[in-house]
Structure 1
Amino acid sequence: MRTGGEKAFSRIMLGPITILYVLFLLAPISFFLLMSLFKYDAFNMYAPVVTGENFARLLFDGYYQTIILRTLKIAFLTAFFSLVLGYPLAYFLARTKSAWRGVLMFLVIAPLMTGVIVRTYGWIVLLGREGAVNKVLMTLGFLSEPATILGTELAVLLALVHILMPYMVFPLFSSLASQDPDVERAASTLGAGRVRTFIEVTLPMSRSGIIMGAALVFTLTAGSVVTPALLGGKDVQMIGQQIYELVTSTLNWPLASATAFVLVFCQFSIIFLYFRGGRSRAQ
Structure 2
Amino acid sequence: MSQQSSRAGGLFGAALMSPIGILYLCFLLLPIGFFLSLSFFTYSAQQMYVAEPTLDNYSRLIFDGYYRRIIYDTIRVSLVVTVITLVFGYALAYFLTRVKSTWRGIMMFLIIAPLMTGVIVRTYGWIVLLGTDGLVNAILVWIGIVERPISMLGNEKTVIVALVHIMLPYMVFPIFSSLVAQDPHLVPAASTLGAKPLRTFFEVTLPLSRSGIVMGSVIVFTMTSGSIVTVELLGGRDMTMMGQLIYQLILSTFNWPLGAAVAALLVLCQFIMISYYFRKMRRAY
TM-score (norm 2): 0.95
Residues 72, 222 of structure 1: 8 Å contact kept: yes
Residues 83, 210 of structure 1: 8 Å contact kept: yes
Identity of paired residues, percent?
56
Which sections of structure 2, spanning at least 5 residues, go unmatched? none
Deviation at 1:19, TM superposition (A): 1.6
Deviations 1:49-107 (A, max 9, x none): 11101011111111111111111111111111111111111111122224221121111
Are 1:33 and 2:36 counterparts? yes
- Matches of 1:44 and 1:25 in 2, distance apart? 25
Structure-to-structure mapping, 1:175-214, within 5 angstroms:
175-214=178-217
Deviation at 1:144, TM superposition (A): 4.0
Aligned to 2:87: 84
- Matches of 2:145 and 2:50 in 1, distance apart? 57
Q: 2:283 aligns with which of 264, 272, 280?
A: 280
Are 1:70 and 2:70 counterparts? no
Aligned to 1:117: 120
The range that moved more, 228-237 or 142-151, is 142-151
Aligned to 1:247: 250
Aligned to 2:231: 228
Deviation at 1:164, TM superposition (A): 1.1
Deviation at 1:235, TM superposition (A): 1.4
Deviation at 1:183, TM superposition (A): 1.0
- Matches of 1:15 and 1:170 in 2, distance apart? 30
- Matches of 2:279 and 2:24 in 1, distance apart? 21
Residues 95, 177 of structure 1: 8 Å contact kept: no
- Pairwise CA RMSD: 1.4
Residues 32, 257 of structure 1: 8 Å contact kept: yes
Aligned to 2:8: 5
Aligned to 1:169: 172
- Matches of 1:39 and 1:130 in 2, distance apart? 48
- Matches of 2:139 and 2:126 in 1, distance apart? 15
Structure-to-structure mapping, 1:145-160, within 5 angstroms:
145-160=148-163
Deviation at 1:140, TM superposition (A): 4.3
The range that moved more, 40-49 or 25-34, is 25-34
Corresponding letter in the other structure for 1:222? S
TM-score (norm 1): 0.96
Q: 2:265 aligns with which of 262, 266, 269?
A: 262
Q: 2:96 aligns with which of 89, 93, 97?
A: 93
Aligned to 1:54: 57
SS in 1 for 2:46: coil
- Matches of 2:145 and 2:32 in 1, distance apart? 49
Deviations 1:167-214 (A, max 9, x none): 000001000000001111111001111111111111111111011001
Corresponding letter in the other structure for 2:231? P
Deviation at 1:25, TM superposition (A): 2.8
Residues 29, 261 of structure 1: 8 Å contact kept: no
The range that moved more, 133-142 or 13-22, is 133-142
Which sections of structure 1, spanning at least 5 residues, go unmatched? none
Q: 1:20 aligns with which of 15, 19, 23?
A: 23
- Matches of 2:157 and 2:135 in 1, distance apart? 16
- Matches of 1:227 and 1:7 in 2, distance apart? 45
Deviations 1:239-264 (A, max 9, x none): 11111111111000000000011111
- Matches of 2:185 and 2:201 in 1, distance apart? 13
